[in-house]
């Protein structure tokens, strides 16, 4: 199975700071069709996960432009500029390129 | 608006079967893919499998032959059955519209305990 290694495990930030989360894959996530099926999800406390980013860098409908996904191959990053209170929770990367699809272990974003 | 809602028992005995229903409104399950994901105590998340618009299925091999995902298109529902459960299957179970998971149910917590 593809292993997604997320770092850091937890991230303490001050509101208004930038936060950066890394997701490294044990295999390239570029599919034979040329697309890279790497997604980012946020699970806020008491809520279901919500989609933030798909195909590495595409923001889902309604996601603020302070969320920026980037990367290629095996290295991916989610950056959150100007962290706001509603951004707190656990972030997951997820790959749908290889079977079985797999999640990273999660990164908890919390206030300093 | 697309909405999904899981339902099913919150407590299952070891060695029995776990059966959950995902009821979908606002979109037909004969389009897209429809998946099950679970979150274990702590943060670990696992993709379990999906059923497609045509009824074909794909499962996580880690669940071997224990898992089955089926559907009832007349009710716009799809189902998860997980056989021979153990305490390690204790988790919150989510259904979601797949492709990427853009719509999720609220989740149902299932405890496996005697």
* Segment A90-106, tens digit of pLDDT: 999 999 999 999 999 99
* Tokens encoding A72: 């290629």
User: Nearest residue of A to residue B62 by CA position?
Assistant: A100
Query: Measured between alpha carbons, how far is B27 from A2 in angstroms, rounded to an integer?
Result: 32
Interface of B with A in 31-90 (CB under 8 A): 37, 39, 43-47, 58, 60-62
The answer to whether the peptide bond before residue B5 is cis (omega within 30 degrees of 0) is no
Q: Where are the beta strands (DSSP E) in chain A?
A: 4-7, 10-13, 19-25, 38-43, 50-54, 58-59, 67-72, 75-80, 89-95, 102-103, 107-111
Query: Measured between alpha carbons, how far is B79 from A49 in angstroms, rounded to an integer?
Result: 20
The pLDDT of residue B99 = 86
What confidence tens digit (pLDDT) does each residue in A26-83 have? 999 999 999 999 999 999 999 999 999 999 999 999 999 999 999 999 999 999 999 9
The pLDDT of residue A33 = 95
For residue B62, the chain A residues in CB contact (below 8 A) are 1, 100
Nearest to A48 among B46, B58, B106 (CB): B106
Handedness of CA A49, B113, B67, A99 (dihedral sign): positive
Q: Where are the beta strands (DSSP E) in B8-66?
A: 11-12, 18-25, 33-39, 45-52, 57-59
Interface of B with A in 1-30 (CB under 8 A): none
**Biggest CA pair distance of chain A:** 42
Residue entry with tokens 């951004």: A87
Nearest to A100 among B60, B104, B107 (CB): B60
Query: Measured between alpha carbons, how far is A95 from A72 in angstroms, rounded to an integer?
Result: 12
Altogether, the residues listed in chain B come to a count of 114
Q: Cα torsion at A94, B29, B73, B24 (round to 10°)?
A: 80
Asked if A29 contacts A95 with a C-beta cutoff of 8 angstroms, the reply is yes
Q: How far is B45 from chain A (nearest CA, A)?
A: 6
Confidence class for position A9, pLDDT limits 50, 70, 90: very high
CA distances from A77 to A40, A104, B1, B112 (A): 9, 12, 31, 36
Q: Show the low-confidence residues of chain B (pLDDT under 70).
A: none
Burial class (CB in 10 A: 0-12, 13-18, 19+), A101: buried
Task: Choose from A59, A100, A105 for mutation: most chain B CBs within 10 A.
Answer: A100
User: Nearest residue of A to residue B106 by CA position?
Assistant: A48
What is residue A36's DSSP assignment? Answer: B
* Tokens encoding A31: 């599919």
CA distances from A103 to A9, A51, A107, B67, B97 (A): 14, 13, 11, 19, 16
Q: How far is B13 from chain A (nearest CA, A)?
A: 26
Phi, psi of A54 (to 5 degrees): -130, 155
User: Nearest residue of A to residue B98 by CA position?
Assistant: A96
């Amino acid at each position: 199975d593809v292993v997604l290694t997320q770092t850091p495990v937890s991230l303490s930030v001050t509101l208004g700071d930038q936060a950066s989360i890394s997701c490294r894959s044990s295999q390239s996530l570029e599919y034979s069709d040329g697309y890279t099926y790497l997604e980012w999800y946020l699970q806020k406390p008491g809520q279901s996960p919500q989609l933030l980013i798909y195909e590495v860098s595409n923001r889902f409908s309604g996601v603020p432009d302070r969320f920026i996904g980037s990367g290629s191959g095996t290295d991916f990053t989610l950056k959150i500029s100007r962290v706001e209170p509603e951004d707190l929770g656990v972030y997951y990367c997820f790959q749908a390129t290889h079977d079985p699809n797999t999640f990273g272990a999660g990164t908890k974003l919390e206030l300093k | 608006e697309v909405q999904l809602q899981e339902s099913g028992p919150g407590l299952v005995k070891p060695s029995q079967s776990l059966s959950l229903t995902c009821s979908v409104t606002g979109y037909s399950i004969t389009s897209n893919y429809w998946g099950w994901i679970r979150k274990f105590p702590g943060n670990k998340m696992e993709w379990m499998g999906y059923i497609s618009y045509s009824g074909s299925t794909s499962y996580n091999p880690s669940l071997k032959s224990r898992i089955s995902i089926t559907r009832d298109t007349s009710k716009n529902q799809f189902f998860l059955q997980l056989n021979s459960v153990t305490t390690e299957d204790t988790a919150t179970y989510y259904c979601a519209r797949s492709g990427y998971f853009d719509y999720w149910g609220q989740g149902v917590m299932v405890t496996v305990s005697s």
